[in-house]
Structure 1
Amino acid sequence: MGDYKLIALDMDGTLLNKGAISEENVKCIQAVLEQGKNVILATGRPIRDVLPYTEKLNLELPLVINNGSEVWRTPKALHSRHLLTGEQVERICKYIFSLDQNIEYWAHTVRGTVDQSNFPDNCESVQWLQFAVKTEDEALRHRIREELAAWNTFEISNSSVNNIECNPIGVSKASGLTEICRMIGIEMSEVIAVGDSLNDISMICAAGLGVAMGNAQQAVKDAADHVAPTNRENGVAAVIKRFMVS
C-alpha cells in the first residue's frame, strides 16, 4: 500500500450505482477521512447536483466540478472558475445546426443547465461552464468530435459513450485536481484518481495511481495503472481497502 494522501472519485459510473452510494462505499470513505486523508469528488456534474452527496458523505473538502471548469474550496466556497466564451458556444451551435441531424445538446452555465427547450437567444449574456452534444449515431458522433477537435479550442471528453463534452482549453479534471493539490499542499504523486469515462483519463494519467473501474470505457482501462471491480461491485471500496486504509 502506497502512502497516498488523497483519493479523487468520479461520481457517475464510479462512486454511484443508479444514482446512489452503497453503504460499503460510504463506510470506506469514512475510514479514509478518519485516518486524516482526503476524499475529493471530481465530476462532470454541476455543483447543485453534487451537494446532496457531499452532505451524505459529510465532506467539507474541495471539489472538481464540471470537468474542472470550477474548483470549489469547500462545497459552499468557490475557489476558481474557467468559462467558455459565448462566441465559442455560438460556433458549436451553428455547426451542429448545419448538420441537420437529430442531435441533442445541453450546457451547464453558472445559473443552471440549459438545453433545446430553454437555450438563450444571446450567448454572450451567459457564463458557460461546459457544452455537451449527444447522438446515438456513432459515425455522426465521430464526425462532430473530429470537427470540434480540429478547432483546437476545447478540451473534449465524454461522460458516457454517446456524448461529447467541451470545456475550455487546458481545463480538465486533472487541472482541477492539480489546483486542489496546491491548495492543500500535497503532490499529485500522492493522489489516487478513479473513474470510468474519457473525462477521467486526464486525472488518471496525472495521479500517482490511476484506477479505472471494471465498467470503464476501454480507453480508460488502457490509460490506468489498475482496474477495480465495477461500480455495481463496490469498486471504490475495493480501491480504498487495497491502497488507502490499513
Structure 2
Amino acid sequence: MNTTYKLLALDMDGTLLTNEHQISPETSSWIKRAQEHGIHVCLSTGRSFGNALPFGEQLGLATPMVTVNGSEIWRAPHDLYQRYLMDVDLIKKMYGIAAHYDTWFWAYAVDHLYNKENWTTEIDGQEWLKFGFHTEDDDVRHQILMELQDLGGLEITNSSPHNLEINPQGINKATGIAQVCSLLGLEVSQVIAVGDSMNDLAVIQKAGLGVAMGNAQQVVKDEADVVVASNDEDGIAEVIRKYIFAKE
C-alpha cells in the first residue's frame, strides 16, 4: 500500500457518479476498502450539502465535506465548519445579466435553491452561496463571461462546458480542501484530488496527486498529473487501485 496519500478528495458529478447519477458497485467497493485502510474520503462538490449528503451516507462517510465549490466546509455531516457568502449586490447584478440574455440560471441560498422558474423577490433577505448560468450558445456564454469578469469579486468556474459557476472571489475547492487538511492534520501533498471540470482545476493543481477523469474537459486533463478511466468506467476505482494500494 502507498502511504504517501491520506485523503481522497472526490468531485461528484462526472467523477464519483456515473452519467445515471449513481455510484457503481465497483467504485463503492474500492472506496470502502480505502476507508478500511485509514484513507479519509472527502466529497468535494459544487452541489449543496443537501444534494451531496445522501451519497456520503451511502458510502458511510463521516469525514469532512466540501460543498458548493468551497463555499461551505463541513467538519462532519451536519456539523458546519465554515461558510463563505456572496455579496448580495453581486447576486442582483448576476440576476440582471441572466434576465438580459434570457438564459437559464440558478442560485444557491443557504436554505433554498432558486432558478429561472422560481426566482425570489426577497434577494436581500437571503444568504447566498453560489450563482450559475447555463446556455449551449457559445457566443452568449462568452458574453456573460465577459460581463462577469467586469464585475470583479468573483471566482468563475464551470461544472460542464455549457455552464458558468460563480463563487466569492478566492473561494474554490482548493481552499476548501486546504481547510479539510487543517481539520485532519494533513498536508495538501497527502491529497489525491479527482475531477472532470473547471471547478476541480484549482484543487487538482494544488493536490499531491491531481487526477482527471477520462471524460474530463481538456484543460483539466492538461493540468492533471494523471488521467484515468471515465466516470462510467470506474475511474475512481482505478485511482484507488493504482495510487493507494499500489506499492510505493
1:51 to 42, 50, 53: 53
DSSP 3-state at the match of 2:131 = strand
Distance 2:46 2:98 in 1: 22
1:15 and 2:5 matched: no
1:139 and 2:143 matched: no
> What is the total number of aligned residue pairs between the two structures?
244
Partner of residue 190, structure 1: 190
What RMSD in Å do the two structures reach over aligned CA positions? 1.1
Distance 2:102 2:96 in 1: 14
1:242 and 2:236 matched: no
Q: Shift of the alpha carbon at 1:143?
A: 1.4
Are 2:109 and 2:129, in contact at CA under 8 Å, matched by a contact in 1?
yes
Are 1:2 and 1:243, in contact at CA under 8 Å, matched by a contact in 2?
no
Distance 2:176 2:154 in 1: 16
DSSP 3-state at the match of 1:21 = coil
TM-score by length of 2: 0.96
Q: Which amino acid in 2 is paired with 1:108? A: Y
Q: Which amino acid in 1 is paired with 2:204? A: I
Partner of residue 34, structure 1: 36
Distance 1:97 1:37 in 2: 45
TM-score by length of 1: 0.96
1:88 and 2:69 matched: no
Distance 1:185 1:31 in 2: 22
Partner of residue 209, structure 1: 209
Q: Shift of the alpha carbon at 1:95?
A: 2.6
Partner of residue 75, structure 2: 73
Q: Shift of the alpha carbon at 1:151?
A: 2.3
Query: Residue by residue, what CA displacement relative to the aligned partner does 1:45-75 show, whole Å, maximum 9, x if unpaired?
Result: 0011111111110000000000000000011
Are 2:98 and 2:104, in contact at CA under 8 Å, matched by a contact in 1?
no
Distance 2:219 2:152 in 1: 21
Are 2:159 and 2:198, in contact at CA under 8 Å, matched by a contact in 1?
yes
Gaps of 5+ in 2: none
Percent sequence identity is: 43
DSSP 3-state at the match of 2:136 = coil
Distance 1:31 1:129 in 2: 34
Partner of residue 105, structure 1: 105
Partner of residue 6, structure 1: 7
Q: Shift of the alpha carbon at 1:37?
A: 1.3
- Structure 1 moving runs of 4+ over 6 Å: none
Q: Shift of the alpha carbon at 1:2?
A: 5.9
Are 2:30 and 2:240, in contact at CA under 8 Å, matched by a contact in 1?
yes
DSSP 3-state at the match of 1:95 = helix
Distance 2:150 2:36 in 1: 47
Distance 1:149 1:25 in 2: 38
Q: Which amino acid in 2 is paired with 1:232? A: D
Are 1:62 and 1:72, in contact at CA under 8 Å, matched by a contact in 2?
yes
DSSP 3-state at the match of 1:16 = coil
Distance 1:15 1:245 in 2: 18
1:121 and 2:117 matched: no
Are 2:211 and 2:226, in contact at CA under 8 Å, matched by a contact in 1?
yes
Distance 1:229 1:175 in 2: 26
Are 1:84 and 1:127, in contact at CA under 8 Å, matched by a contact in 2?
yes
